[in-house]
Amino acid sequence: NAGVTQTPKFQVLKTGQSMTLQCAQDMNHNSMYWYRQDPGMGLRLIYYSASEGTTDKGEVPNGYNVSRLNKREFSLRLESAAPSQTSVYFCASSEYGSRDTQYFGPGTRLTVL
């Protein structure tokens, strides 16, 4: 039982490049989330998926897209990376909804040059 896994762990991009961050959970959770964490700040919600087949914007969605591929997987795509997207990205899941306990992955540290 791996919980929430994320790939890659580290990534360096040049401005304008694209990439997809992968997230998978094996807890049969309905809801999944993408957050970013910047120094001195708490986590900010980028997108979430309340259930398979649904996605919705969070607090900071600009420059990102998501896909809930199936119940297990929720990916985050940066179409044209910008230096302002340099951050640590966390995926999380919860069984019933956002008020429920959330389980976090180990994070992806992304640097955009």
Which residues of this chain interact with other proteins, rule CB under 8 A?
4, 35, 40-45, 48, 56, 58-59, 90, 92, 97-99, 101-107
Q: Which is nearer to other proteins, 9 or 79 (CB)?
A: 9
- Nearest Cα neighbor of 15 from 47, 75, 63, 61 is 63
Q: Minimum CB separation from other proteins for residue 80, in Å?
A: 26
Tell me which amino acid residue 12 is: V
Instruction: Give CA–CA dist 16/41, Å, rounded.
Output: 25
Q: Minimum CB separation from other proteins for residue 102, in Å?
A: 7
Q: Minimum CB separation from other proteins for residue 29, in Å?
A: 13
- Nearest Cα neighbor of 94 from 83, 105, 86 is 105
Q: What angle do CA 78, 83, 84 make, to 5 degrees?
A: 80
Sequence-distant (≥ 6) Cβ neighbours of residue 42 within 8 angstroms: none
Q: Minimum CB separation from other proteins for residue 13, in Å?
A: 20
Q: Which is nearer to other proteins, 14 or 99 (CB)?
A: 99
Token match 């309905």: residue? 30
Q: Which is nearer to other proteins, 7 or 98 (CB)?
A: 98
Q: Which is nearer to other proteins, 15 or 57 (CB)?
A: 57
